[in-house]
Structure 1
Amino acid sequence: MWNRKEAAFARCVMIAAGLTFGPSGPSQAVPGSDPPACNAPAVSTTTGTFCGLTQAVVDGADRPTVKAYLGMRYGAAERFAVSVPATSSGLVRATQLGTVCPQDNLPSDAPVGEDCLYLNVWLPASPPVGKLPVMVFIHGGAFDVGASSQAVFMGARLAAKGQAMVVVMNYRLGALGFLAGGTGPDAIAPNLGLQDQQLAMRWVHDNAAAFGGDPERITLFGESAGAMSIGAHLASPSSAPLFRGAIMESNPYGIPFKNPDQAQAVRTLFDNTSVVQGCPATEPPGTIACLKALTWQQVLAAQDEVSTADLVFSGAMTGLLAWAPVVDGTLVPVQPNEAQITKPVIAGTNLDEGTLFVPFTAPLSPSTYQLYLSRIFPAEYSQILALPRYAPIPVDNRPQIANIVTDYLFVCPNRHVLAASTGPAYAYKFARRPSFAVWPGAATGCQPKADGGEGRVCHSFELPYVFRNAVAVTTPAKPNGRVPTGDYFTAAERPLIDTMTNYWTSFTATDEPSSPLVATPWLPFRQSGARQVLNLTISRYRDGVSNCDFWDQIGYDRGASLFQFSGQTR
């Protein structure tokens, strides 16, 4: 159905917020330098004492000052082992971004290596009286790319304007973070990357007070794969004590996590790659000793072999999501889209989530489109085609596929999860097209117009507005956490940015999103059945065109199958 070039593009963009479109292959480490001297007070934590930077920030007409503590080590881990708290090492200069976890097409100038369990903290330099609410961000990137050092994730402006403590973490990615399976001494525990996240969450809970934060008011927020991760933590009993609420941006709840059998299938494919089979004769292929003998560049090469395999397992999942988490019965006891959320939560999607994920480089004919749907939804495809939003159109049906991805993977499963929640729950639709390129080189439909204007609002487009950083998701931050200048929001966008900051930080502080900047209150979802539309004018929207009642009847267990033919040319 797709050729390999298209499949590679799909894997890059799926659930990705924060990767480059440069040449493929392992990223090379950039030599580090001695971190600059501190000019922010030292803070004692459970993993050492860290001094930081005082930074002046340009944020529109404002010039606030923040304290930044960059590259603080929260954990350590041997390869394919559960991470443990980092060892305290005395006074450390936290004035430079930390090492980035190994990945392809690295969106950062930072050094790369497996010793990468670092996080960054930003605080207003002159905080208000009382403890600061705490916002902990988990980045996206299909569970195999992304870093806390991307410019869009620098939290200085959000911390200053929102008067909050903002934290952004790294966690292990790809095979190094999500390979699982095996038996006996060669078994690899599932969800190592999620366990890294949980360790970082515990670090924040234990150390927030030392920075002036409130450990009882911690909100997780994340986008795409980061929002999927938050869905897992909302379902996890062991994560529950570590945070109070959550904001999920563009969680593709319609994509299920792997089950243990599927995780084992990925492990078998990994062990059978040419890289692993080429282990030294002294280390039998597929053993832990073999896997530890590989360089991380070789692990990435084996990972890429799995990700581009014709089929990871027939009819269920492809290498596109080979590195998604596993429903392991402990950390993730159930599929996140089946878990009942009891904590306060905001969940939302962008107007045109699916546009970024349609990799076909040529028009999709009506006959090929119908064949494609018949393979994914064999019992229901005729009903799908009968719905006006998905009905075949002449010449090119890529927009129809994009509509199905938007509705089935994003909008409707989020509605389903929020409707079943029992805590305070709020929904949004982000509908502002930025005036600058969030995804340079991506689909034409995701490119900007001079004035923002009307057009498609693609996956991850809300991120610059949340963090107040008008940069592409592929832009690396400077080593000291500075956001490169050159791209700026328009004057018309400023009120929306301030409104979103108010919503996100008010929810963190009080469990209710509110903003004195708008007259339209944000009503709880179960009370109103409406989503707050985040645009230059704030309004409310009740889903109608997305056919959610129909998709609810089908169930959200086939999302990965939307991409099951990704390695084949047909």
Structure 2
Amino acid sequence: MMRLVTVLSLALYYLSTPGVQRVSARSVSLLFENDGDWENLDNRTSALLFYDPETLDDAFQVCQGFDETLFNNENLSDIWNKLSYLKYQGVFNEHTKFWVASESNDGGSVLAPFTSMSSTSNVNADDSQKLPFICSNSAPLTSQVNTDFPSLPKTNVTSNEIVFTGVRDHLTFRFMGVPYASPPTASLRFRYPEPWKGTYVNATGFQSACLQFGSFANNDAGLNPWGVSENCLFLNIYTSYLPSSPSKAAPLRPVLFWIHGGGNLNGMGSDETFDGGPLVSRGDVVLVTINYRLNIFGFLGLNTSDSAIPGNFAMADKIAALHWVQEHIADFGGDPEKVTIFGQSAGGWSIVDLLKSPKASGLFHAAISQSGGSGTFTTAEAVYEMVEPYLTPLCDLKQQTGTELLQCLQALPAEVLLNITNFAGSWSTVLDGVYALDSAVNQMALGPDAVNSVPFMLGFMPEEGQSLLGSTISPNATDFEQSLLNTLGSTLAQDVLQSGLWTINEDFDVYNATIIAYTDWFLTCPAENMIAAASKSTAFPAMYIYSMQHAYGLSFYDPFDLCTFPVGDPQPYYRCHSGDLYEVFGTYHIFSQPLRIPADISYTDLVQDIWTAFARTGDPNPDLADLAARGPAYQSTLRLLQDTKWVWPKYDEVSMQIASLEYPELMTIRGLPDDLNGRCAVITAGS
């Protein structure tokens, strides 16, 4: 059969690249040019690129199988830079042609002239001619928390004889609610995770978060329509590339493995703040987000004679998820040899834990801790003292053996155990000699052989304590001593007052001074002690330290509405704890956040370009040639770096250079926050 069709030829300026890299049948990329303008994401064209050559009839059938049509050439300029970048990577060359369609032909197969960047021609093609082809992507943008994900177009991936059914939206392929371990219930409660066994996963929607209290325990705040359960060990995968055979496909993408925060008490990987669409579509990466056991379920560790309840179940969950990534992620387009772990707040604590843990050796290749301090730790003896008053009436801690105690705890209703979280103190990693050996400062001081030595990036928000303190103190507070007593305790409060380093004046009032002192105590100074130890011992091949000067407070985590500024009015505001999350993930649109000033877009682009550059190479400095090859959507970052000639240096104990991140005031400064001025010395001595 003869048919009049349209052929698109990549007649671009020649770039020195390898020859055509063949890709296997049905390998597909979702093409979307993300310039960071979150208010117009749904107005931009999205497409599906199929790499393996097919006849025209087969191309039509494949598109129809995805509930799509052959892509209209009139919209090719919208995705041209994505095709050009694939050529830059060596996937295609200047001779590559694609099947596309034109509205000018009733059959939808004839191309009209394209642009000066390419050439198009109408040819008679029979069934023997095979070309790569492009389909439309009409799937909607994920733009709200309570999205009906199972109604989205489906897609399947097979990995190690397991079939995963996921969905496709406007920006990515999504596989949600993937079990990475067996449910930690009944006889598996307070046990290390065991492998999940099955042959099919319906990954078309999020699954339950782990048991907890707070904002995610129900859907009162509109944040968690999926509920909570003890059966919660799920992960979520966002990718723009699905190879049918990793050994023959286009280049695998770097993997970013996200660990949520929440004080080890609450949070979930399906928090739509961490939706992967914007970050994946801009950064050309694969994102994995996870749940892990929280509070008593993840952190109960008791020093019994038979080690029946050793603790660190939450850390074991994270490590089990990393093992899952090593086993399966290549089938979702991710490179298991380029896994970057990153997390914020308690997720940052987790990053520190994994850097120290011998159990995590070889499972990741770079790490980012956002506002994670130096992690937290405790002992089994301290945990026992904390929980004994609450557990003894339920299961006799003093009379039972460890095994008997475990069986008793496993038989209790989950809600009974969860209620203990309301009365007990904080939950931390237990120094057990297996998963956790020592404090971060002590262990990193021993050098690279004592840690998982990979490139390490970490940093701060200037006023973390504002959102962390919530309503503990009022912005109108006038009594500095009382404010410190309420937040730091009597001993450290007196040390801070007597030092004279937090002097109250017109520009530094009681509220501001208390926020900074609390920030220093809770996060900044512990992190700086860890940085100093790691730098002196060269524990890591490279450390990069930052301070974010631009922030956008989360809509549901902004005490007194001070963590942002009005639209069009960039007056002074607090750069709060969690004020970096919208920038890293670009999920403003899901929470209906307005564009305040144009720099919000440029700064978000810059942060995402830095984070994904680090995931790609272990160096946060974006490659300028790579940015140029990606096209106009990356020009704001490219121009800034070219104009300023800014380079983020590795941190060392002599130069002490850190990045001050803002747009366009991108700088490198000397000294860690509140280190050179002596405040951290006061905090450390009094803690």
Match of 1:122 among 205, 217, 238: 238
Distance 2:405 2:489 in 1: 37
Bigger relative contact order, structure 1 or 2 (CA pairs below 8 A, ≥6 apart): 1
**CA contact under 8 A between 1:32 and 1:110: conserved in structure 2?**
no
Q: 1:51 aligned to 2:165?
A: yes
**How many Å apart are 1:212 and its aligned residue?**
2.2
- In structure 2, relative to structure 1, the CA distance for the partners of 1:122 and 1:525 (3 Å cut) is same
Larger Rg: 2
- In structure 2, relative to structure 1, the CA distance for the partners of 1:301 and 1:445 (3 Å cut) is same
1:143-171 Cα deviation digits (max 9, x unpaired): 01000111111112111110011100000
Q: Which has the higher mean CA deviation after the structures are superposed, 167-176 or 507-516?
A: 507-516
Q: 1:326 aligned to 2:430?
A: yes
Q: Which has the higher mean CA deviation after the structures are superposed, 459-468 or 185-194?
A: 185-194
**How many Å apart are 1:389 and its aligned residue?**
2.5
1:94-128 Cα deviation digits (max 9, x unpaired): 11112211111224111321111000011114899
1:181-237 Cα deviation digits (max 9, x unpaired): 152569422111111011001111222222221111110010000000110110111
Distance 1:153 1:370 in 2: 34
Distance 2:663 2:235 in 1: 33
Distance 1:390 1:554 in 2: 14
Identify the residue that residue 150 of structure 1 maps to in structure 2: 271
Q: 1:211 aligned to 2:332?
A: yes
Distance 1:433 1:333 in 2: 35
**How many Å apart are 1:391 and its aligned residue?**
5.8
Distance 1:169 1:437 in 2: 20
**CA contact under 8 A between 1:38 and 1:51: conserved in structure 2?**
no
Identify the residue that residue 259 of structure 1 maps to in structure 2: 379
**CA contact under 8 A between 2:395 and 2:409: conserved in structure 1?**
no
Q: 1:353 aligned to 2:481?
A: no
- In structure 2, relative to structure 1, the CA distance for the partners of 1:293 and 1:544 (3 Å cut) is closer
**CA contact under 8 A between 1:360 and 1:398: conserved in structure 2?**
no
- In structure 2, relative to structure 1, the CA distance for the partners of 1:246 and 1:278 (3 Å cut) is same
1:32-52 Cα deviation digits (max 9, x unpaired): 999457622323148x32121
Q: 1:84 aligned to 2:194?
A: yes
Give the letter for the 1:344 counterpart.
P
Identify the residue that residue 498 of structure 1 maps to in structure 2: 605
TM-score, length-scaled by structure 2 = 0.64
**CA contact under 8 A between 1:138 and 1:168: conserved in structure 2?**
yes
**How many Å apart are 1:428 and its aligned residue?**
0.7
- In structure 2, relative to structure 1, the CA distance for the partners of 1:443 and 1:485 (3 Å cut) is closer
Q: 1:68 aligned to 2:178?
A: no
Identify the residue that residue 371 of structure 2 maps to in structure 1: 250
Identify the residue that residue 550 of structure 2 maps to in structure 1: 432
Identify the residue that residue 660 of structure 2 maps to in structure 1: 533
Match of 2:227 among 97, 111, 115: 111
Distance 2:189 2:371 in 1: 31
CA RMSD of aligned residues (A): 3.5
- In structure 2, relative to structure 1, the CA distance for the partners of 1:162 and 1:288 (3 Å cut) is same
Distance 1:204 1:374 in 2: 41
**CA contact under 8 A between 1:135 and 1:167: conserved in structure 2?**
yes
**How many Å apart are 1:545 and its aligned residue?**
6.2
**How many Å apart are 1:550 and its aligned residue?**
3.9
- In structure 2, relative to structure 1, the CA distance for the partners of 1:553 and 1:367 (3 Å cut) is closer
Match of 1:521 among 637, 647, 652: 647
Distance 2:314 2:602 in 1: 37
- In structure 2, relative to structure 1, the CA distance for the partners of 1:470 and 1:295 (3 Å cut) is same
Distance 1:443 1:226 in 2: 25
Distance 2:648 2:154 in 1: 40
Q: What are the equivalent positions in structure 2 for 1:167-246 lying under 5 Å apart?
A: 167-184=288-305, 187-246=308-367
- 3-state secondary structure, aligned to 2:521: helix
**How many Å apart are 1:484 and its aligned residue?**
5.3
**CA contact under 8 A between 2:299 and 2:314: conserved in structure 1?**
yes
- 3-state secondary structure, aligned to 1:525: coil
**How many Å apart are 1:444 and its aligned residue?**
4.3
**CA contact under 8 A between 1:221 and 1:230: conserved in structure 2?**
yes
1:328-381 Cα deviation digits (max 9, x unpaired): 222111112333263101100001111123343453624435766995546x94
- In structure 2, relative to structure 1, the CA distance for the partners of 1:488 and 1:80 (3 Å cut) is farther
1:465-516 Cα deviation digits (max 9, x unpaired): 0001116xxxxxxxxxxx4556556432111111111111111111101234
Distance 2:530 2:484 in 1: 29
- 3-state secondary structure, aligned to 1:80: coil
Distance 2:585 2:468 in 1: 24
Give the letter for the 1:73 counterpart.
P
Identify the residue that residue 459 of structure 1 maps to in structure 2: 577
Q: 1:101 aligned to 2:219?
A: no
- 3-state secondary structure, aligned to 1:189: coil
- In structure 2, relative to structure 1, the CA distance for the partners of 1:376 and 1:235 (3 Å cut) is farther
Distance 2:564 2:608 in 1: 24
Distance 1:288 1:392 in 2: 56
Identify the residue that residue 445 of structure 1 maps to in structure 2: 562
- 3-state secondary structure, aligned to 1:407: helix
**How many Å apart are 1:323 and its aligned residue?**
1.1
Distance 1:447 1:287 in 2: 49
Distance 2:211 2:364 in 1: 28
Identify the residue that residue 401 of structure 1 maps to in structure 2: 514
The runs of 5 or more residues in structure 1 that have no matched partner are 1-30, 58-65, 307-318, 472-482, 560-570
- In structure 2, relative to structure 1, the CA distance for the partners of 1:218 and 1:558 (3 Å cut) is farther
Percent identical among aligned pairs is 24
Give the letter for the 1:415 counterpart.
E
- In structure 2, relative to structure 1, the CA distance for the partners of 1:364 and 1:257 (3 Å cut) is farther
Paired residues, number: 487
**How many Å apart are 1:395 and its aligned residue?**
12
**CA contact under 8 A between 1:366 and 1:395: conserved in structure 2?**
no
- In structure 2, relative to structure 1, the CA distance for the partners of 1:160 and 1:175 (3 Å cut) is same
Q: Which has the higher mean CA deviation after the structures are superposed, 440-449 or 505-514?
A: 440-449
Distance 2:585 2:577 in 1: 16
Distance 1:305 1:383 in 2: 30
**CA contact under 8 A between 1:143 and 1:174: conserved in structure 2?**
yes
Distance 1:240 1:224 in 2: 22
TM-score, length-scaled by structure 1 = 0.77
Distance 1:192 1:54 in 2: 33
- In structure 2, relative to structure 1, the CA distance for the partners of 1:34 and 1:291 (3 Å cut) is farther
Identify the residue that residue 26 of structure 1 maps to in structure 2: none
- In structure 2, relative to structure 1, the CA distance for the partners of 1:438 and 1:337 (3 Å cut) is farther
**CA contact under 8 A between 1:446 and 1:457: conserved in structure 2?**
yes
Identify the residue that residue 410 of structure 2 maps to in structure 1: 292
